[in-house]
Structure 1
């Protein structure tokens, strides 16, 4: 099983950084796995425009150079793991 090379701290609805709430992208060769520990989070992919509701049972995979942003849906706790190859779900 692939292990992340880096993980963010655990954020809640008040501490999710502005950079994650605004359009941003992963670097070339980097996959992000958004894990919701509690609550729900909206993941919006910009092009093509797709919205997904993430929950503890439904993490979000962000592919390399994919422009996206997140929006908390009420109380939430989340973390992002970063990989150099696609992680296993």
Structure 2
């Protein structure tokens, strides 16, 4: 099951679009985001297997993104042809008035 991100997130970056042929090796190995960054794996076509530490693998498809929890070990595996990107978010605070 994918974690629910907090409501106070703003997108600050996104990767280029990857395919099965262009996916960076680092995404296929266990890695983690920094402690303040949430991510969302956005599938444009095809599917990926999203593997999080101590969780059952999750098949992610268009319309059902995978949520990356800050500082949690995770990786992906290709499941045939795929096109995807990763969006990155962090919490924001409204300025005092």
TM over 0.5: yes
Give the gaps of 5 or more residues in structure 1: none
Deviations 1:13-68 (A, max 9, x none): 0111000000000101100100000000000002x132000000210001100100
CA RMSD of aligned residues (A): 1.3
Give the deviation of 1:72 after TM superposition: 1.0
4+ residue segments displaced more than 6 Å: none
Give the gaps of 5 or more residues in structure 2: 1-7, 92-97
**TM-score, scaled to structure 1:** 0.89
**TM-score, scaled to structure 2:** 0.82
Q: Distance in 1 between matches of 2:78 and 2:19?
A: 8
Q: Which moved more, 1:1-10 or 1:22-31?
A: 1-10
Count of residue correspondences = 84
SS of 1:25 mapped into structure 2: coil
Q: Map residues 8-47 of structure 1 onto 2, 5 A cutoff.
A: 8-46=15-53
Q: Distance in 1 between matches of 2:75 and 2:42?
A: 14
Q: Does structure 1 residue 52 correspond to structure 2 residue 64?
A: no
